[in-house]
Amino acid sequence: MSFLSWGGDLAGGRGFAAVAAPADDGPGNPWFSWRYVQDNADAILSALRFHADLTARSVLIALLVALPLSVLAYWIKPLTGPILALSGILYTIPSLALLALLAPAVGTTSSTSVLIALVLYALLVLVRNALAGLTQVPAEVRDAATGMGYGRVGRLLRIELPLALPGILTGLRLATVSTVALVTVGALIGKGGLGDLILGGFASNFFKAQIVTGTILCVGLALILDLLLAGVGRLLTPWTRVRRS
Amino acid sequence: MNYFSEGLVWFNDPLNWTNPGGLLDRLSEHLAISAWAVLLGCLVGWPLGIWMGHRGRGGGVVVTLANLTLAIPTLAMLTILPLTPLGFGRPPVVVALAVFAVPPLLANAYTGLRQIDPETRDAARGMGLSGGQLLRRVELPLAVPYLAAGLRTAAVQVVATAALATFVNGGGLGEIIRAGFGVGMSNGGGGQIVAGGIAVALLALLVEALLAGLQRLVTPRALRARGRRATPSVVPTA
């Protein structure tokens, strides 16, 4: 359905797809054009906003689910194997296939289908890294905490989770960067944010400026979010810096 | 409505398999694209990774490359490459997929050579092996499990992302999903979309299982406990 409407009224008639390359900006079809960016600033910004919003929501939901899940796998050892195996199998399923399985049931025009697929992928990255971080807490540290009178929950909150923070943050960065790239697959149902921009450019006579603008913004968004999280990580884990210097 | 059973009904129609552009056509396209992409990825990733691992330099490059390709959407590669001198058709799709196959192949080849015990390397040198002999007789045989692990990661990823080729009319099993959307949900397209999704997912799981078997086969028994995937299994699928 949405495939037939690539050219014009993508995602509610934003209409950026139908714009032709401006004539005074190099011959024919330039790789990049400020003129295009200026003329279509609204459409580009709304695609960017949609993209960032979907990424943020997916990663946040995934984080909220992943943390309890990895603590569960950490506390109840027999659950670790099944949780990791399931995550491995789920991760092997291609994003397009997952979207194709979800979209008919959830709604072929709703961004919720994309959101669910993104949450599932981010979830697996987060669980794996959080679990790796938790299991790397040295046994002596755990013993010492128990000896100091910490209960299970207190030890988790005060000792184990803070020590697992580097692992959790690595997972968060990986999940964020790959989610930004994965959102583009949502273009299958016209809910791909910058992916819609890229695909729209391809569909309207291979309009290079639009494709490249979408790509640059997508990669840029991923890098900025990654740097942001790296900065947050440095602030949250000052001890890793001290050890290094 | 139960779209899953509609998908099974779609599978049950032999014409959906044998028609032009049916399941069998798309499957062979999918496999051909994937095979070429993995081959191209191996031709670039392995020599480079082995060379860097042998010299013991370039670890930073490997990490940077892996992180950078994580941020590039496959969709962008697929749409940009046909507009370059590569032209339209199968070559740009193969190259786009190969770009994402290189990092796991490269990283695993590099790690495979770097993880070798320095004492082993010293002993081989002491026995009078030259650099080339060391590489051929000692380092490469010991790195085989890692090369196989890289091949598995890369191949599964390529088979998974080859489904996205449909966005640029590149063929493959993704076409079935997209054609399902073309039919429309009200005309029974839902079943076809789900069927396409099942087909793509099954193929990826099958390739994963087959190559896991291959990896086990080429790993000497003594190394099996250690021969894990060198890259964390967080592979981007887009």
If pLDDT is split at 50, 70 and 90, which confidence band does B225 have? low
More confident of the two residues B196 and A29:
B196
Question: In the predicted model, is pLDDT for residue B238 greater than 70?
Answer: no
If pLDDT is split at 50, 70 and 90, which confidence band does A242 have? low
Dihedral, CA of residue A199, residue A202, residue A205 and residue A211, to nearest 10: 100
Question: In the predicted model, is pLDDT for residue A228 greater than 80?
Answer: yes
Domain regions of chain A by residue span: 2-18+26-238
* pLDDT tens digits for range A68-78: 999 999 999 89
A3:B181 CB<8 A: yes
Centre a 10 Å sphere on the Cβ of residue A146 and count the other Cβ atoms it contains.
13
Question: In the predicted model, is pLDDT for residue B24 greater than 80?
Answer: yes
Q: How far is B202 from chain A (nearest CA, A)?
A: 8
Domain covering B3-223 in this structure, CATH number:
1.10.3720.10
Give the 3-state DSSP-derived string for B51-116, with helices as H, strands as E and coil as C: HHHHHCCCHHHHHHHHHHHHHCCHHHHHHHHHHCCCCCCHHHHHHHHHHHHHHHHHHHHHHHHHCC
Nearest to B185 by CA among A8, B177, B166: B177
> Which of A96, A178, A210, A223 to probe by mutation at the B interface, max B CB count within 10 Å?
A96
> Which of B167, B173, B186, B202 to probe by mutation at the A interface, max A CB count within 10 Å?
B167
Give B210-217 contacts, CB < 8 A, sequence gap 24+.
Answer: B211/B148, B211/B151, B211/B152, B211/B155, B211/B156, B212/B152, B214/B148, B214/B151, B214/B152, B215/B145, B215/B148, B215/B149, B215/B151, B215/B152
- Reported ipTM: 0.80
Contacts of B194 (CB under 8 A, 6+ apart): A100, A101, A104, B3, B4, B6, B7, B10, B180
A177:B67 CB<8 A: yes
Domain regions of chain B by residue span: 3-223
What pLDDT, on a 0 to 100 scale, did the predictor assign at position A226? 92
* pLDDT tens digits for range B116-137: 888 998 999 999 998 889 998 8
Measured CA distances, A118 to A94, A180, A214, B115, B236 (Å): 12, 9, 19, 34, 12
Q: At what angle do helices B59-71 and A161-183 cross, to 10 degrees?
A: 60
One-letter amino acid at A73 equals A
Centre a 10 Å sphere on the Cβ of residue A171 and count the other Cβ atoms it contains.
28
Arithmetic mean of pLDDT, A1-11: 37
A&B contacts, CB < 8 Å: 162
Q: How far is A11 from chain B (nearest CA, A)?
A: 15
If pLDDT is split at 50, 70 and 90, which confidence band does B101 have? very high
Q: Which of A1, A91, A178 sits opposite B184 (nearest CB)?
A: A1
B82:A206 CB<8 A: yes
B181:A93 CB<8 A: no
Share of chain A above pLDDT 70, in %: 87
Q: Is B184 on the interface with A (CB under 8 A)?
A: yes
Q: Is B86 on the interface with A (CB under 8 A)?
A: no
CB B176 within 8 A of CB B196: yes
- Beta-strand ranges (E) seen in chain B are none
- What is the spatial distance between Cα B31 and Cα B27, in angstroms, rounded to a whole number? 6
* pLDDT tens digits for range A134-175: 999 999 999 999 999 998 889 999 899 999 998 999 999 999
Least confident of A15-24, A81-90, A99-108, A210-219: A15-24
B164:A185 CB<8 A: yes
B197:A97 CB<8 A: yes
Share of chain A above pLDDT 90, in %: 38
- State the DSSP code for B33: H
Question: What DSSP string runs through A101-112?
Answer: HHHHHH-TT-HH
- What is the spatial distance between Cα B119 and Cα A139, in angstroms, rounded to a whole number? 31
Q: How far is B28 from chain A (nearest CA, A)?
A: 18
Q: At what angle do helices A95-106 and B189-218 cross, to 10 degrees?
A: 150
Q: Is B237 on the interface with A (CB under 8 A)?
A: yes
Mean pLDDT of chain A: 83
Task: Indicate the pTM of the whole model.
Answer: 0.82
Question: In the predicted model, is pLDDT for residue A130 greater than 60?
Answer: yes
Q: Hey, what CATH class is A2-18+26-238 in?
A: mainly alpha
What pLDDT, on a 0 to 100 scale, did the predictor assign at position A15? 41
* pLDDT tens digits for range A184-193: 999 888 888 8
Question: What DSSP string runs through chain A?
Answer: -GGGGSSS-HHHH--GGGPPPPTTSSSSS-S--HHHHHHTHHHHHHHHHHHHHHHHHHHHHHHHHHHHHHHHHHHSGGGHHHHHHHHHHHHHS-HHHHHHHHHHHH-TT-HHHHHHHHHHHHHHHHHHHHHHHHHTS-HHHHHHHHHTT--HHHHIIIIIHHHHHHHHHHHHHHHHHHHHHHHGGGGGGT--THHHHHHHHHHTT--HHHHHHHHHHHHHHHHHHHHHHHHHHHHH-HHHHHHH-
